[in-house]
Protein backbone atom coordinates (compact mmCIF):
# COMPACT_ATOMS: atom_id res chain seq x y z
CA UNK A 1 0.00 0.00 0.00
CA UNK A 2 1.30 3.43 -0.88
CA UNK A 3 1.39 6.05 1.83
CA UNK A 4 0.42 8.99 -0.28
CA UNK A 5 -3.12 9.85 -1.25
CA UNK A 6 -4.16 10.76 -4.75
CA UNK A 7 -6.97 13.24 -4.72
CA UNK A 8 -9.83 13.73 -7.11
CA UNK A 9 -10.00 17.48 -6.63
CA UNK A 10 -6.96 19.64 -7.04
CA UNK A 11 -7.75 22.39 -4.59
CA UNK A 12 -7.51 20.73 -1.23
CA UNK A 13 -7.94 23.36 1.45
CA UNK A 14 -5.87 23.76 4.58
CA UNK A 15 -8.57 22.22 6.76
CA UNK A 16 -8.43 18.95 4.82
CA UNK A 17 -4.64 18.96 4.79
CA UNK A 18 -4.59 19.54 8.53
CA UNK A 19 -6.93 16.59 9.06
CA UNK A 20 -4.75 14.36 6.86
CA UNK A 21 -1.73 15.28 8.97
CA UNK A 22 -3.63 14.76 12.23
CA UNK A 23 -4.57 11.24 11.13
CA UNK A 24 -0.86 10.38 11.18
CA UNK A 25 -0.12 11.83 14.63
CA UNK A 26 0.81 8.88 16.79
CA UNK A 27 3.52 9.64 19.34
CA UNK A 28 5.29 6.39 20.10
CA UNK A 29 8.56 4.78 20.98
CA UNK A 30 9.87 2.80 18.01
CA UNK A 31 12.85 1.39 19.88
CA UNK A 32 15.12 2.25 22.80
CA UNK A 33 16.66 4.95 20.61
CA UNK A 34 13.89 6.16 18.36
CA UNK A 35 10.64 8.02 18.98
CA UNK A 36 8.27 9.00 16.20
CA UNK A 37 4.88 10.46 15.36
CA UNK A 38 4.80 13.42 17.75
CA UNK A 39 4.61 15.89 14.86
CA UNK A 40 2.98 15.29 11.47
CA UNK A 41 3.06 17.18 8.19
CA UNK A 42 1.00 17.07 5.00
CA UNK A 43 1.98 18.66 1.70
CA UNK A 44 -0.14 19.28 -1.37
CA UNK A 45 1.74 19.29 -4.67
CA UNK A 46 0.98 21.20 -7.85
CA UNK A 47 -0.20 17.85 -9.28
CA UNK A 48 -2.89 17.64 -6.60
CA UNK A 49 -1.32 14.83 -4.60
CA UNK A 50 -0.93 14.82 -0.84
CA UNK A 51 2.07 13.34 0.92
CA UNK A 52 2.36 12.98 4.67
CA UNK A 53 5.18 12.37 7.08
CA UNK A 54 5.87 12.22 10.79
CA UNK A 55 8.90 13.28 12.78
CA UNK A 56 11.46 10.62 13.61
CA UNK A 57 13.63 11.48 16.60
CA UNK A 58 16.75 9.39 17.21
CA UNK A 59 19.90 9.25 19.26
CA UNK A 60 22.99 10.72 17.58
CA UNK A 61 20.86 13.31 15.71
CA UNK A 62 19.94 10.96 12.89
CA UNK A 63 16.31 11.98 12.99
CA UNK A 64 14.11 13.82 10.57
CA UNK A 65 11.37 16.43 10.92
CA UNK A 66 7.85 15.57 9.77
CA UNK A 67 8.10 18.04 6.89
CA UNK A 68 11.25 16.44 5.47
CA UNK A 69 9.73 13.00 5.88
CA UNK A 70 6.71 14.15 3.83
CA UNK A 71 9.07 15.71 1.25
CA UNK A 72 11.02 12.43 1.00
CA UNK A 73 7.74 10.65 0.38
CA UNK A 74 6.90 13.18 -2.36
CA UNK A 75 10.31 12.86 -4.04
CA UNK A 76 10.02 9.07 -3.89
CA UNK A 77 6.87 9.45 -5.96
CA UNK A 78 8.56 11.69 -8.53
CA UNK A 79 7.31 15.13 -7.55
CA UNK A 80 9.09 18.26 -6.35
CA UNK A 81 6.71 21.23 -6.51
CA UNK A 82 4.65 22.02 -3.42
CA UNK A 83 1.57 24.25 -3.27
CA UNK A 84 0.59 24.03 0.41
CA UNK A 85 2.17 22.68 3.58
CA UNK A 86 0.81 22.08 7.05
CA UNK A 87 2.54 20.90 10.18
CA UNK A 88 0.60 19.78 13.25
CA UNK A 89 1.99 19.35 16.75
CA UNK A 90 1.03 16.60 19.19
CA UNK A 91 -1.41 18.94 20.95
CA UNK A 92 -3.21 19.65 17.67
CA UNK A 93 -1.78 23.14 17.24
CA UNK A 94 -0.17 24.35 14.02
CA UNK A 95 3.62 24.19 13.83
CA UNK A 96 6.03 26.22 11.72
CA UNK A 97 8.87 24.57 9.77
CA UNK A 98 12.27 24.82 11.45
CA UNK A 99 15.20 26.55 9.74
CA UNK A 100 16.52 23.31 8.27
CA UNK A 101 13.15 22.47 6.71
CA UNK A 102 12.79 26.02 5.33
CA UNK A 103 16.15 25.66 3.62
CA UNK A 104 15.29 22.18 2.36
CA UNK A 105 12.02 23.46 0.91
CA UNK A 106 13.75 26.38 -0.83
CA UNK A 107 16.24 24.06 -2.53
CA UNK A 108 13.46 21.80 -3.84
CA UNK A 109 12.11 23.96 -6.65
CA UNK A 110 12.67 27.42 -8.14
CA UNK A 111 9.10 28.40 -7.18
CA UNK A 112 9.27 27.11 -3.60
CA UNK A 113 9.08 30.65 -2.24
CA UNK A 114 5.41 30.59 -3.20
CA UNK A 115 4.61 27.59 -0.96
CA UNK A 116 1.73 28.49 1.34
CA UNK A 117 2.32 27.40 4.93
CA UNK A 118 -0.54 27.25 7.40
CA UNK A 119 0.05 29.57 10.36
CA UNK A 120 -3.21 29.38 12.31
CA UNK A 121 -6.33 27.27 12.58
CA UNK A 122 -8.30 30.44 13.31
CA UNK A 123 -9.32 31.50 9.82
CA UNK A 124 -6.75 29.14 8.29
CA UNK A 125 -4.26 31.92 7.68
CA UNK A 126 -1.00 31.20 5.92
CA UNK A 127 2.38 32.70 5.12
CA UNK A 128 4.49 32.17 2.01
CA UNK A 129 7.82 30.43 2.44
CA UNK A 130 9.70 33.38 0.87
CA UNK A 131 8.51 35.49 3.81
CA UNK A 132 9.98 32.98 6.27
CA UNK A 133 13.37 32.88 4.57
CA UNK A 134 14.07 36.31 3.07
CA UNK A 135 17.25 37.06 1.13
CA UNK A 136 17.76 33.37 0.38
CA UNK A 137 21.26 32.63 -0.89
CA UNK A 138 20.26 30.28 -3.76
CA UNK A 139 18.05 32.49 -5.96
CA UNK A 140 20.88 33.32 -8.34
CA UNK A 141 21.34 29.66 -9.26
CA UNK A 142 17.68 29.19 -10.15
CA UNK A 143 17.70 32.51 -12.03
CA UNK A 144 20.63 31.30 -14.13
CA UNK A 145 18.29 28.77 -15.71
CA UNK A 146 19.20 25.70 -13.70
CA UNK A 147 16.29 23.62 -12.51
- Rounded CA gap, 65 and 68, in Å? 5
98 binds Zn ion (CB under 5 A): yes
30 binds Zn ion (CB under 5 A): no
According to DSSP, residue 94 is labeled B
Query: In this chain, which of 21, 52, 65, 85 binds Zn ion, going by CB under 5 A?
Result: 65
Q: How far is the CB of 79 from Zn ion (least distance, A)?
A: 19
Closer to Zn ion by Cβ: residue 67 or 79: 67
101 binds Zn ion (CB under 5 A): yes
| 85, 115 contact by CB (below 8 A) | yes
Give the three-state DSSP class for 90.
coil
Give the three-state DSSP class for 116.
strand
**Which chain residues interact with Zn ion by CB under 5 A?**
65, 98, 100-101
Amino acid sequence: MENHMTTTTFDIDFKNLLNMAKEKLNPRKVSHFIEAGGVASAILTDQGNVYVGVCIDTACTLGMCAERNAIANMITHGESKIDKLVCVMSDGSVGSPCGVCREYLMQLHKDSGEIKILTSIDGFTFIKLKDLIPDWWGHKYFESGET
